[in-house]
Structure 1
Amino acid sequence: MNTSYLSSIKKQFEYYKSLGEKTFHQLSIEEVKQEFVEDSNSISIIVKHIVGNMLSRWTNFLTEDGEKEWRHRDDEFKDIFQTKEELLDYWNKGWICLFDAITTLTEEDLERIIYIRNQGHTVTEAINRQLAHYSYHIGQIVFLGKLLKGKDWVSLSIPKGTSNTYNLEKFSKEKARRHFTDDL
């Protein structure tokens, strides 16, 4: 079960990373930086926050508190990106940190206790916490991207009106154990 969990969780993180990247691909730097109302978070600010969290949580994941002294969370809500390349480089820095930590984990690590702001979590609980946090924010990124592009948005899931076709294709295959992201 635990080996299955580790491979599945890695695929889940890869999936959410890809949703963010497919959104960025559709947007200009101006759109990525756009705030809808004063003091709301643009996509670029959400990216900065996610990456700040990733670097803090996943650096020395098993041996240090997940809230690092060097993290300045309030600064994550100040936009610094001038180009999409800068934003994507920063985005990738966070994901590299996460995947480097995840790939070193073993089944035996999953019940170890780690701390986030002195609150103990099993490694499994900490991973689940971060997956939920990142998927929450990546959902915001996708939604903002869809609002920005309007009718020009390219759907990242099953487009409206195509569920029957999608299901016919899925049910035309033999039953087999596979991850839902294998076909993406």
Structure 2
Amino acid sequence: MNENFLTSTRKLFLYYKSLGDKAIAQVNDQQINWRPNEVSNSIALIVPHLSGNMISRFTDFLTSDGEKPWRNREEEFEKAFSTKSEMLVAWENGWRVLLDALANLKGPDLDKVVFIRNEGHTVLDALQRQLAHYPHHVGQIVYLAKMLKEREWQSLSIPKGESASYNAEKFSEDKGMRHFTDKA
């Protein structure tokens, strides 16, 4: 059961990374810094926060507090990137640290206790905490990119108005019902 949870968790993190990848791919250098108002964040501010959080939480994941003394969370929301390519380096670095840490986890690790800001969490709870946090910010990135692209936006799921045709195609496939563990 624990191995199934870890497999599912890896798939979910990769899914949310892919949504972010596809949204970021649709915007340019100028658009990454756009924000709808002064209290909102741009894509170029959300990415350093995500990356900083991932690197802090998942560096030495099982052996040190997830809030590293070298992390400056406040700066993550102040220091935007000027180019998309610079931003993508940070994006990929954060995800690499997270995914590498996940790859090294084994089922029995889920019951171990890790600390975040000196508060103990089981590894399972810590992973679920981040599975709530990261998709929240990826959703912000997707929404900002969608606002910026307007009619040029390329849907990341079933495009508006196409649910019926999508479902008709899926249910007409001659594969029978797919098992829930099959790859989508």
CA contact (8 A) 2:33 2:82 kept: no
- 2 CA distance for matches of 1:109 and 1:162? 43
Letter in 2 for 1:84: K
- 1 CA distance for matches of 2:116 and 2:138? 21
Q: Which runs of 5+ in 2 are unaligned?
A: none
Pairwise CA RMSD: 1.3
CA contact (8 A) 2:23 2:142 kept: yes
Structure 1 segments of 4 or more deviating over 4 A?
none
Q: 2:176 aligns with which of 169, 174, 177?
A: 174
Q: Which runs of 5+ in 1 are unaligned?
A: none
Letter in 2 for 1:177: H
Letter in 2 for 1:82: S
TM-score, with length taken from structure 1 = 0.94
- The CA deviation string for residues 52-73 of structure 1, in whole angstroms up to 9 with x for no partner, is 1001100000011111111110
- 2 CA distance for matches of 1:48 and 1:134? 12
Would you say how many aligned residue pairs link Structure 1 and Structure 2? 182
CA contact (8 A) 1:23 1:142 kept: yes
Secondary structure, counterpart of 2:30 in structure 1: helix
CA contact (8 A) 1:8 1:179 kept: no
CA distance 1:27–1:161, shift in 2 (3 Å)? same
CA contact (8 A) 1:28 1:84 kept: yes
Secondary structure, counterpart of 1:20 in structure 2: helix
CA contact (8 A) 1:32 1:43 kept: yes
Residue 161 of structure 1 deviates from its aligned partner by: 1.2
Query: Identity across aligned pairs (percent)?
Result: 51
